[in-house]
Amino acid sequence: MRNVAGEGARGPNKIMTLTVSNLHAGEWVSRNASETFNLGQQFGEQLTGGEILLLGGPLGAGKTVFVKGLAAALGIDPQEVTSPSFTLVNPYAGKFPLFHVDLYRLDEGPAAAHAVDLDELLTDERAVVVIEWAERLGRYPLPAHVWRISISGDGEAPRSISISPLE
């Protein structure tokens, strides 16, 4: 990864950093899937359980690659992590339970949350819940500890990755 501001290839390559509850917010540029995986892993190492991650970006941007890195940090075999496009929710057991949710095929609004039993998933206070295509939730109310992760770019182009707490 590289810093858009021109920082060298060593160290965390970010534009800015903000710490909230031991997690770091910022913006990064990833040149390949390996760097996206590594950023997911670095973010995952900071998780304490109970976080909700709203993951956005176009098809092929690297959302599942980011989740694979996050899963690796939680002691989950990243090769087991797949996009839940057809199953809607993929559960994994690791340091914390990980629920990987994909709302791509669902209509926008509260019905999307109900289709994946989101209320039930959120009852596990230790679970990390990652929701791809989270914008389909609309104004669905979420508890605290929510982070927005946006990945832009596709094809061979570098990815811009933004991580920020939801306010």
Is the distance from CB of 122 to CB of 143 less than 8 angstroms?
Answer: yes
Query: DSSP character for 137?
Result: G
The total of other beta-carbon atoms located within 10 Å of residue 63's CB is 26
Token pair listed for 42: 């670095």
pLDDT digits (tens, 9 = 90+) for 6-18: 333 333 454 333 3
C-alpha distances in Å from residue 25, one per residue of 10, 35, 139: 19, 17, 23
The pLDDT, as a whole number, for residue 143 is 80
pTM for this model (two decimals) = 0.81
The pLDDT, as a whole number, for residue 112 is 67
pLDDT digits (tens, 9 = 90+) for 18-71: 333 445 788 888 989 999 999 999 999 999 888 889 999 888 888 999 999 999
C-alpha distances in Å from residue 12, one per residue of 6, 32, 40, 76: 12, 15, 12, 23
Q: 26-165 sits in which CATH class?
A: alpha beta
Please give the Cα distance from 42 to 44 (Å, whole number): 5
More confident call, 120 vs 77: 77
- Could you give the strand order of the β-sheet that contains 146-152, starting from the edge strand earlier in sequence? 14-20, 23-30, 159-165, 146-152, 52-56, 128-132, 98-102, 89-92
The pLDDT, as a whole number, for residue 102 is 82
pLDDT digits (tens, 9 = 90+) for 86-116: 678 888 998 999 999 887 766 666 666 666 6
